[in-house]
Structure 1
Amino acid sequence: MAIEFFKKLSNDLTNLLENGEDYNVIIEVGQIPNRQIFKAHSIILNYRCFYLREELINEFGLEELVNTVQTQLVKKHASWIRLNFAKVYRICFKSDDFKILQEFCNNIVAKHPSIVFDSQDFENLSEKALVSLLKLDNLQINEGKLWNQVIRWGIAQNSDLDTNPAQWSNAKFSTLKATLKNCLPHIRYFQISGEDVIDKLYPYQQMFEPTLWKDIMAKMVAPNRAIASTILPPRIISNTVLPPRNTETSSETNIFTTSSIRSNTTATLYARL
């Protein structure tokens, strides 16, 4: 019965697309006299094509609406964001349109880095989100531990890498280096203790550019000696003991309502071939 229902539904959708009834998007391809016109439905385009989804957002001027919604969430429903932090954090880094939420979430992680770095889901963090955290000057985490977590993330992105670099070939070090190419420049190498350099960095020495590794070694022996490598500023670590995060449930968890909005606007997209 279910199979028959979906078959009929599929046929209905096909007929809808073929006859163009109730369309709200016109796509014009080519130029006169060879121009072709296609009638389409924005809701289908929205889910079938990311590029067209972005174009439709721009066409209808929804960027301002997206920013307004983010601002309202941050100002009036911050507790809801905290209670649903993992989901919000994952979603907000899927698009550059959510910069307000990204900044809000990163401010939380900066104070409580264990939320992300010690989570079981850390290895599934997007590269974009990880790099944004590494750039934070106020990230409250020991740089040696941060290095370990970055290595952990990089290894997890490659199924052929195990956790024992002593057994790795040169090719495996190259693989990890390529995976972490956008992360490594943001590590504060010269803020890592000598013990951590030996215990944590040395096993991955092959990933370092010769000049950088030479300078790391030089700073361990002669801290005041000038070096060629760029020294990033140390992270601003607070001495204040932060209270534990509140994990109590909140009545604000149901802040979204579903509404049906019907638009009579017809968008015209031009594709010049």
Structure 2
Amino acid sequence: MSSKFLKELSNDYEKLFEAEIGYDVIIYAGEEPNVKEIHAHSNILCIRSKYFRTAFSNEWAEKEGGKFIFRKPNISPHLFDIILRFIYSGNIELKNLQGPDVLKLLIAVDELNNQQLISHIQEYLIKHRTEFLHQNPTGILETVYQHETFTDLWKFFLEKICEEPKILFDSDKFINLKAPLLELLLKRDDLNMDEIEIWEGLLKWCFAQQNIENDPKKWSKDDITKIERSLHRFIPLIRFYDIEPTDFFYKVYNYKDILPQELIHDLLEFHIVGTDLIHRNCDDKGATIWVAKIQGSSQLVGGYNSLDWNGNNVWKTTGDSFLFNFTNGKIISTAKLGYVKYPGNAIHCANNQGPRMGNFLCYGNNNWKNWDCNANFYPEIGILNNSRFTVENYEVFQVIKK
């Protein structure tokens, strides 16, 4: 049979649809005030559509005056017209539709259970209309995720987001992303995004979900509980061990909020633990943050000196310094922080010592101890009270004002 004959046959059936001769089906498509009455033929619908065949056989459709009545307020008249033309003629024209309308058409076709069109429209979207993903990535991903038959489109969009995560994470609607979908994304190994940026995005999402300001100074105990519950399922998915130290302390631990108008700047060359290195490398550098990894464990300890390390055998007074402790440096939720309680003994500088804050100090030769058993100088945050220990190395970061 020639292709010319098939084309003529297709055209004849389309003319029958347009002529509305002998119709016995009335379809009301769209919502008020844009409802349109569309006419069709039950015998053609039954032969060409499993959905309509089931509808007629199970008497889904109501009947008035000898005609079957269908009401489809969720499908626009224009899209229903496209679907019926395909049912009649096997032809479909998509090039005049924008991406969002093509997706709406796909949803309508899925409801009408036309598997042939589902595959065709997915293929068309992937080849010709991917740019609309940038317009509303959150809504599109959730829509595709909710439809089990959109497997090709789901795979494509998910890979596209993993390849260019900022399409989603920088979107205004990212904060509205449903938790299961966010969890699914964070579980992937091919999400092409620095862990620190993922963490920042997760925090932004969390604060928006809980309607909490991104200002720790304004948090109540109830706010903190909400944040903990919101983040609990996601924390294990963040690879904190991949985060650079400067990013970790500036962004992850959010020192930009603790230190207004200041930022962590240069990593001072300070990877070994000799006694005089704190002065050789850090004198005249101003405020610093130092961090040490306790040997034989995953524990990180450190502190913020808001002044400097200049001088020998002198105490320095400040109310801004603090100590911190991560019992597991790979898990952010294990962190504790304590501001100085006795400002007159906040910082001690000595040529024969490493960092000293209150009665927590490095004697030199990698000999560390926290003598502050009664938490007189800084709060108790779990830094091995009254026990000597060594560290694998420690680093110091300079803090400068903008």
- TM-score of the aligned structures, taking structure 2 as reference length: 0.35
Q: Which protein shows a greater Rg?
A: 2
- TM-score of the aligned structures, taking structure 1 as reference length: 0.49
